[in-house]
Amino acid sequence: MLNKFNLRGSKKENDASHLFDSTQIPSHIAIIMDGNGRWAKKRGLPRIAGHKEGMDVVKKMVRESDRLGVQVLTLYAFSTENWKRPKTEVDFLMKLPEQFLTSYLEELIENNVRVEVMGDAQQLPRGTVKAIETAISRTSENDGMILNFALNYGSRHELTDAVKQIISDVQADQLTVNDIDESIISSYLLTKQYPDPDLLIRTSGEIRLSNFLLWQLAYTELWFTDVLWPDFTEEHLGEAIAHFARRHRRFGSVNN
């Protein structure tokens, strides 16, 4: 049953939707957007030029994921480990959320996209937090695709906080030890409102999870590609989704 024509919007040159049908679109895609620095270095440019280029790819992938009918797109924008980078690079990265939202929030609102951010906001510059709060509140009523940025996020930190909160709720008699099961634990994580990711994409050739969504990725299809994030296109996204659709078709009805 091929119903690729049900996809929203028009067909484009670099569309890979002939590789899958719209019943097999992952509900939740998570992406580790790696390779921006390497992309810049290859061109003799400063690393920040790669990050800037990477931001434009974010916009393209948001448009394409929305068009395909993805429900949640989670993007790893900044990890708790990224603070170890040179100060000039960190300072530049910290300005990107605001820059992204200044140039793109109106389009997100127009397209019914809801912006969410998970991670520790405490250490972020005031202007960044302000811009994010505005984006979250101006899109909070939108019921289309959720665009979820992991910003100053680390999975072990998330799990540590969940353990602390669970213990505190047990001590306050809000919860008993016997209540605690996998779904309770999921409900204490920053992703509690979302289904687990169906597909994880990591660009730039590293085969690691780097402290990203360790609990949530337990059953997720993993797609690693050598393509650097600034070179990642709609067609590459389509290839990753086709991989997911193939696995899904093959194993969907069997218990493994």
Which residues are catalytic, by number?
Answer: 34, 82
Residue from 30, 40, 70, 101 touching ligand V07 (CB under 6 A): that is 101
Interacting stretch for ligand V07, rule CB under 6 A, among 10-18, 22-30, 51-59, 202-210? 51-59
> What count of Cα atoms within 13 Å lies in the side-chain half-sphere of residue 22?
13
Residues numbered 139 to 178 that lie near ligand V07 (CB under 6 A) are 149, 151
Interacting stretch for ligand V07, rule CB under 6 A, among 20-28, 53-61, 161-169, 209-217? 53-61
Q: x-or-dash pattern for ligand V07, window 210-229, by CB under 6 A?
A: -------------------x
Nearer to ligand V07, 72 or 93 (CB): 93
The β-bridge partners of 24 are: none
The answer to whether 195 and 73 have CB atoms below 8 angstroms apart is no
> Minimum CB separation from ligand V07 for residue 82, in Å?
8
3-state secondary structure of 74: strand
Cα 36 from chain centre: 16
> Minimum CB separation from ligand V07 for residue 1, in Å?
36
Helix (H) / strand (E) containing 129: helix 126-139
State how far the Cα of 77 lies from the Cα of 96, in Å rounded to an integer: 9
State how far the Cα of 154 lies from the Cα of 200, in Å rounded to an integer: 16
- The C-alpha angle 36, 41, 45, rounded to 5 degrees, equals 95
Nearer to ligand V07, 52 or 247 (CB): 52
Residue from 16, 20, 31, 36 touching ligand V07 (CB under 6 A): that is 36
3-state secondary structure of 38: helix
Residues near ligand V07 (CB under 6 A) are 33, 36, 51, 54-55, 58, 77-78, 93, 96-97, 100-101, 115, 117, 132, 135, 149, 151, 229
